Structure 1
Amino acid sequence: MKRSRLYKKSGILALTIVLGIAFVHIVQIVNAATAEPEAEDEIILASLDYVDDKINSLKSSLDEMTKKYEEAQERLEEIESYGKFVPLELTKDQILIAGESAEIILRGGKALAIGGEGGGLSDITSGSGADVNTDQEVPLNHLLLISRDDGRGIKVISEKAWVLVKGPYTIE
């Protein structure tokens, strides 16, 4: 008899738990079905001044980025042009002043070296490690390296000279 009472009480307890869980789930389903959608239909109000300020801010940012892009493009083109030898035809008494890290090859004609404060033109081809100093004749087909931007270059002494230059330079 004691056993049957225990089974009856535990059956009622189990039924109560199952009905409670079912009730909680039904309440959640009803709440989910009647809930309003999130921010889909909401209208956000902003003043015209705020919107204009944001547009002007974006325009100025775009202008700055465009300017930086154009400057970078110009610099890239300048760097790319330094990567190739440029053939030049110079006449008597013209002076070619090379910038830092420039390279010169005298292909034809005669020219004298113009040294700078730190020395002459580094003759890479000679193998001796000697510089071609001021007023020395520049040898044909030798690669000359200009290490600094201190006025180094060559002066043409023949009627014409043909030179290959890589890097920054000016002709006077």
Structure 2
Amino acid sequence: MSNKVKLGLGIGALILAGSIVTTAMAGETSEPGSQEDPLVTKSYVDQQINLLKQSGLPSGQPTDGEETVKVAQIIVLNLKAGDLLVGNTGTEMILRAGTATAYSKDANGIPDVTGATDLKNGTKIPLNHQLIYPRNDGRGVKIVSGTAVFMVRGEYEVISEQKE
């Protein structure tokens, strides 16, 4: 064999040996139960969960400058003809049954996110379309006839026909 071939085989063997050692060292894991990977008992886990509960973290109480996030529940409303359902900022509504039209005191429409459009004053509300109110400016839906069923999440006001 020539010296160049011997030198190439020697360098290749050194590279192979180095990669084997590196791989073996990287593959080492901590022994279960050691300080790096401790085993814990159920009582310890229960104790830590109770500490978290006492700190208020699971209940949504703010800690260390965090803000509480409240998720509004969906309310089902049965409204009658002539009622006006007005949404506040961020309120979501879905007409499940009945007939209603969009209501606005000005040119602003109600964003219909399902239909990707703005529903202008007097436009019929499609069933099962999600409406989201961007501002607290009096926009809402007017019940046209019979009974309408709405799912509502967020703040709202129902104005009966008698009050107008």
- Deviations 1:46-67 (CA, angstroms, capped at 9, x unpaired): xxxxxxxxxxxxxxxxxxxxxx
Q: Report the equivalent of 1:101.
A: 90
Mapped to 2, the partners of 1:141 and 1:158 lie a distance apart of: 18
Q: Report the equivalent of 2:136.
A: 149
TM-score with structure 2 setting the length: 0.53
Q: Is the 8 A contact 1:111 1:154 kept in 2?
A: yes
Q: Deviation at 1:115?
A: 2.5
Q: Deviation at 1:146?
A: 0.4
Relative to its length, the structure with more strand (as a share) is 2
**Percent identity over paired residues:** 33
TM-score with structure 1 setting the length: 0.50
Q: Equivalent residues in 2 for 1:38-49 (5 A)?
A: none
Which has the greater radius of gyration?
Answer: 1
Q: Deviation at 1:85?
A: 1.1
Mapped to 2, the partners of 1:138 and 1:146 lie a distance apart of: 14
Q: Is the 8 A contact 1:117 1:150 kept in 2?
A: no
Give every structure 1 segment of 4 or more consecutive aligned residues whose post-TM-superposition deviation is greater than 3 Å.
none
Q: Report the equivalent of 2:147.
A: 160
Q: Deviation at 1:160?
A: 0.3
Residue type of the alignment partner of 1:153: G
Q: Deviation at 1:90?
A: 0.2
Mapped to 2, the partners of 1:134 and 1:117 lie a distance apart of: 8
Aligned residues: 94
Residue type of the alignment partner of 2:100: A
Does residue 137 (structure 1) correspond to residue 124 (structure 2)? The answer is yes
Does residue 124 (structure 1) correspond to residue 113 (structure 2)? The answer is yes
Unaligned regions of 5+ residues in structure 1, if any? 1-71, 73-78
Relative to its length, the structure with more helix (as a share) is 1
